[in-house]
A and B are shown apart, each in its own frame.
Chain A
Amino acid sequence: MARVGGKLLRTITEEDDGWELPLSMIDVVFLLLIFFILASKFRQVEERLEANLPKDEGPKNIKVELKEIDEVLIRVTASETQRETYPVIQVRKREFRGKGAFGELEAFLKGVHRTKSDQAIVIQGKPDVPFWMVVRVLDACAFADLTNVKFQAPPAELDQGGKEWAERL
């Protein structure tokens, strides 16, 4: 401030003249932005499907046979066309094929659960079937709240006996 003729006059300096860009703040804001983008991107998006092996039948019991007459056996096979591989699911004389197979299976298993909530399910996956198809069947069981699920293993070594086993399907 300067006094001229008894009046106060504001001195205009260069600093007051314009608005200064807060560069340091922009630096920090951008770093924070990058940090949170990376943190969200790398957050492991993963879940798990329980697939407990039969506890009460003994761990040495490698051969799995259908003991209960009312066990629901789900056979998972794949059929190939020139363009894609699609699932073929057989359960109790029914067959579900194609893209809608898992939806139909879910509806079927929901009906099974309504009849008997602790129904035993045996998943018999053909050895050369893609893993995702078996997971989708397991997912369908989880959807229908059927938790008593077992996997049927081939009787002998998978490389040799497995082929014979697969042919019997």
Chain B
Amino acid sequence: MMLKKKVTSPECKLNMTPMIDVVFLLIIFFMLVGELKRMAEEAVVLPFAAHAQEDKGGGTDLVVVNITKAKGVARTVKFVITKNEYNKKALEDYLAQRAAEVPDTSSAMELSRLKVKIRADSYVEFKYVQRVLLACMKANIWQVSFGVAPDPSRKKGNR
């Protein structure tokens, strides 16, 4: 009598540990690369403020104007919007163009719904911020805010 040989396949076990290792390493790698790239391009030392509001992001109707001191060149300040550098005239033109795209139809004064957030270095002279404010006024933009860092030494409502 012939005995049928029972063919059993070897038990297949999926080892998840190396896969988790690799996935986490990839996540960390991309986080670091993305963050370092962003930090290199928009490094702004924001001024401290103790009574500012939480910034929940902007959406499409928000323009962030970065005002930084250019590296290596003494007393040279540059205006940066989404990684592009602008001079005074180009900044005015850009803001005017963006403001015209989102007119406030409820306003009789040709105002714009565009919001501008100014992120300026602490030690930048105020006249550069004034330039952006003037450009906003010329472009019919009235919703302006300043990017600040929370003051670590002074807590809200604790004084």
Kindly state the separation between the CA atoms of A136 and B110 in the bound complex, as whole angstroms: 32
Please list the residues of chain A having a beta carbon within 8 angstroms of any beta carbon in chain B.
Answer: 24-25, 27-28, 31-32, 34-35, 38-39, 42, 45-55, 58-62, 76, 125-136, 138-139, 142-143, 151, 153-154, 158, 162
Partner of A52, one of B49, B55, B140, B144: B144
Please name all residues of chain A whose beta carbon is closer than 8 Å to the beta carbon of B123 when the two chains form the complex.
130-132
B70 at the interface (CB under 8 A from A): no
By DSSP majority rule, is chain A's interface helix, strand, loop, or mixed?
mixed
Inside 8 A of A53's CB, which chain B residues have their CB?
133, 136-137, 141-142, 144
Do the beta carbons of B126 and A138 come within 8 Å of each other? no
> Known contacts A130-B122, A158-B130; is A46 also within 8 Å of B138 by CB?
no
A113 to B92, CA, bound (A): 36
Q: Is the CB of A48 within 8 A of B127?
A: no
Interface with A: B6-14, B18-26, B79-87, which one?
B18-26
By size class, the interface of chain B is 35 or more
B114, chain A: closest CB distance, angstroms: 12
Query: In the complex, what's the smallest C-beta–C-beta distance from B67 to chain A, in angstroms?
Result: 8
A-B contact pairs, 28 of them (CB 8 A): A28-B21, A31-B24, A34-B28, A35-B27, A38-B32, A45-B150, A48-B55, A50-B53, A50-B145, A53-B133, A59-B110, A59-B111, A59-B142, A61-B137, A125-B126, A127-B130, A129-B126, A130-B126, A131-B128, A132-B48, A135-B146, A135-B148, A139-B49, A142-B51, A153-B130, A158-B127, A162-B127, A162-B130
Chain A positions within 8 Å of B144 at CB level: 50-53
A35 touches B28 (CB 8 A): yes
The reply to whether A128 and B125 contact each other, CB–CB distance below 8 Å, is yes
Indicate whether A131 sits within 8 Å of B121 (C-beta atoms), given known contacts A139-B50, A154-B130. Answer: yes
Name the distance in Å between B85's Cβ and chain A's nearest Cβ: 19
Cα(A61)–Cα(B139), bound, Å = 12
Q: Shortest CB–CB separation between residue B99 and chain A, in angstroms?
A: 9
Contacting residues, chain B, for A38 (C-beta < 8 A): 28, 31-32
Are A42 and B53 in touch, CB under 8 angstroms? no
B148 touches A49 (CB 8 A): yes
A25 to B21, CA, bound (A): 10
Nearest CB of A to B159, in Å: 9
* Distance in angstroms between the alpha carbons of A3 and B53 in the assembled complex: 77
B-side contacts of A51, CB under 8 Å: 118, 144-146
Residue numbers in A under 8 Å from B149 (CB-CB): 45-47
Residues of B within 8 A of A39 (CB): 31
- A129 near B51: Cβ-Cβ < 8 Å: no
Pair B25/A31 contact, Cβ less than 8 Å: yes
Assuming the contacts A28-B20, A58-B109, A131-B121, asked whether A138 and B130 have C-beta atoms less than 8 A apart, the reply is no
Q: Collect the chain A residues with CB atoms within 8 Å of residue B18's CB.
A: 24
